[in-house]
């Protein structure tokens, strides 16, 4: 079941959308203002964010920009009555993945939600776990403000773990992300993870990369 957060201050519309999503077996939480949505995002995991632009306390563009600055890669579908091209460009520049103009057909909303729920957003530019920061635009990694150099494979492994956090990534999923349909020999992943840990964890007091026996690997500030 997909989980969605709807951020909409029109309570009648919000109730209609939530009822329709429930018929499609999509679980939906609701926030009526921008600040409340950020709090719910901290407390829960959602597959898609449905975000109105005109919101009290914090507008939708600011919510979107804040999430992207925090490294959150949730797919964001903006819902708005603004249909000008300039408004759509502003939404995409803020980090939105899709745009739906009110009034919209609920069937179209469902199709877009289902499509977005199958992927994480490519709009995120910064991933963070504790004091570890990965800047995707600048292709840089630092921990406690100390720059870290990584090989291309170590970079890819770290990116997969950072995007998945706090969830565990299986050995098979890591291998597929790096080597695709051509699996490496049995020790390759172990060797590359050793080098990644040496770069990310060895110089610091607190390890971030953890092995979860029988399940895979996770990057997490506390285990």
Instruction: Calculate mean pLDDT across residues 129-156.
Output: 90
Q: pTM score, two decimals?
A: 0.59
Distant-in-sequence, close-in-space partners of 189: CB < 8 Å, separation ≥ 6: 171, 174, 175, 178
Per-residue pLDDT tens over the stretch 158-190 = 988 988 777 888 888 888 888 877 777 778 889
**To which residue do tokens 């939404």 refer?**
91
pLDDT digits (tens, 9 = 90+) for 196-219: 999 999 999 999 999 999 889 999
Identify the structural domains of the chain with CATH numbers, from first to last.
2-117 (3.40.50.2300), 126-219 (1.10.10.10)
Give the list of residues 6+ apart from residue 129 with CB closer than 8 angstroms, or none: 162, 165, 208, 219, 220, 221
User: For the stretch 102-122, what's the b/e string if a residue is b when 16 or more beta carbons lie within 10 angstroms of its beta carbon?
Assistant: eeeeeeebbebbeebbeebbe
36's enclosing H/E stretch is: helix 34-43
State the pLDDT at residue 109.
Answer: 93
- What is residue 4's predicted lDDT score, i.e. its pLDDT? 94
pLDDT more than 90, % of the chain? 51
Phi-psi label, residue 139: left if phi above 0, alpha if psi -120 to 50, beta otherwise: left
What are the beta bridge partners of residue 169?
217
pLDDT tens track for 40-82: 998 888 889 999 999 999 999 999 999 988 778 889 999 988 7
Taking CA atoms, 100 is separated from 11, 30, 75, 79, in Å, by: 18, 18, 14, 5
């Amino acid at each position: 079941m997909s989980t969605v957060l709807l951020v909409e201050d029109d309570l009648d519309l919000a109730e209609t959308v939530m009822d329709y999503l429930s018929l499609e077996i999509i679980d939906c939480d609701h926030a009526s203002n921008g600040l409340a949505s950020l709090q719910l995002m901290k407390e829960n995991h959602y597959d898609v964010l449905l975000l109105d632009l005109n919101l009290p306390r914090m507008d939708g563009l600011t919510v979107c920009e804040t999430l992207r600055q925090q490294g959150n890669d949730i797919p964001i579908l903006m819902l708005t009555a603004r249909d000008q091209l300039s408004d759509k460009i502003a939404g995409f520049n803020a980090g939105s993945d899709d745009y739906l103009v009110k009034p919209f057909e609920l069937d179209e909303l469902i199709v877009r939600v289902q499509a977005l729920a199958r992927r994480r957003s490519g709009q995120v530019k910064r991933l963070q776990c504790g004091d570890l920061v990965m800047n995707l635009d600048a292709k840089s990694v630092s921990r406690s403000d100390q720059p870290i150099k990584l090989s291309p494979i170590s970079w890819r492994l770290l990116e997969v773990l950072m995007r998945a956090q706090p969830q565990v990534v299986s050995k098979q999923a890591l291998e597929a992300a790096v080597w695709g349909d051509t699996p490496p020999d049995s020790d390759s992943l172990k060797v590359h993870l050793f080098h990644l840990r040496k770069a990310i964890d060895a110089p610091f007091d607190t390890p971030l990369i953890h092995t979860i026996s029988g399940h895979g690997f996770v990057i997490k500030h506390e285990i």
